[in-house]
Amino acid sequence: MTRFQISSSCVANDRRSIQLRIRLDLRRCRVNLRRLFLCAPLLLLPACIPSLEDNPPREPELELPAAFSGGPTASSAQAESLAGKTWRDVFDDPHLQALIGMAMDRNQEMNIQLQEMIIAKNEANVRDGEVLPRVDAHVGAGLEKAGADTSQGRADEANGVPEHLPDFNFGLSASWEVDLWGKLRNAAKAARLRYLATTQGRKLMQTHIVAEIANSYYDLLALDRQLQVLKRNIALQRNALEVVRLQKEAARGTELAVQRFEAEVLKNQSRQFELEQQIVEAENRINFLVGRYPQTVARDPASFDRPLPKAIAAGLPSDLLENRPDIVEAELLLRAAKLDVSVAKARFYPSLSLDANVGYESFDPKHLLDTPASIAYGIAGGLTAPLLNRKAIKSQYSSANAMQIQAVFKYEQTVLDAFTEVTNQLAMLENLTKSYGLQSQQVERLERSIEVSKVLFQSARADYMEVLLTRRDALDAEMELIDTKKKQLHALVNIYEALGGGWR
What are the pLDDT digits (tens) for 325-342?
A: 999 999 999 999 999 999
| 379 and 246 together in one domain | no
CB–CB of 358/172 below 8 Å?
A: yes
Q: What is the pLDDT of residues 128-148, one digit of tens each?
A: 998 889 999 999 999 998 888
Q: Are residues 234 and 98 in the same domain?
A: yes
Q: Are residues 412 and 379 in the same domain?
A: no
Alpha-carbon distance 373 to 359, whole Å?
Answer: 11
Asked whether the whole model's pTM tops 0.85, one would answer: no
Ranking 192-206, 229-243, 370-384, 394-408 by mean pLDDT, the lowest is 229-243
Residues 432 and 392 reside in one and the same domain: yes
Report how many domains make up the chain: 2
Domain-located, residue 23: no
The pLDDT assigned to 421 comes to 94
**Domain annotation covers residue 48:** no
Same domain, 128 and 275: yes
- Same domain? For 405 and 361 the reply is no
Q: Write the pLDDT tens digit of every residue in 416-438.
A: 999 999 999 999 999 999 999 99
Angstrom distance (rounded) from CA 236 to CA 250: 21
Enclosing domain of residue 265: 82-132+182-348+388-498
| Residue 36 lies inside a defined structural domain of this protein | no
Same domain, 266 and 380: no
DSSP 100-128: HHHHHHH-HHHHHHHHHHHHHHHHHHHHH
Compute the mean pLDDT over every residue in the chain, rounded to the nearest whole number: 85
Residue pair 454/273 in contact by the 8 Å Cβ criterion:
no
Does residue 261 share a domain with residue 191? yes
The β-bridge relationship of strands 165-178 and 351-362 is antiparallel
130/183 Cα distance (integer angstroms): 10
Residues 500/323, Cβ–Cβ less than 8 Å: yes
Q: Is residue 63 part of a domain?
A: no
pLDDT score recorded for residue 160: 84
Does the pLDDT of residue 206 top 90, yes or no? yes
- Cα–Cα distances in Å, from 136 out to 110, 128, 290, 307? 39, 18, 48, 69
Higher pLDDT, 58 or 88: 88
Q: Are residues 249 and 114 in the same domain?
A: yes
CATH number (domain holding residue 377) = 2.20.200.10
| pLDDT confidence of residue 15 | 41
Predicted confidence at residue 57, as pLDDT, reads 84
Is 416 part of any domain?
A: yes
Comparing 2-11, 329-338, 479-488, the range with the smallest average pLDDT is 2-11
Nearest-Å Rg of the Cα atoms of the chain is 42
Query: Does 55 map to a domain?
Result: no
Lowest mean pLDDT among 78-82, 99-103, 217-221, 268-272: 78-82
Q: What is the CATH number of the domain that holds 108?
A: 1.20.1600.10
Residues 223 and 290 in one domain: yes
Residue 470 confidence class, pLDDT cut points 50, 70, 90: confident
Domain match, 288 and 436 both: yes
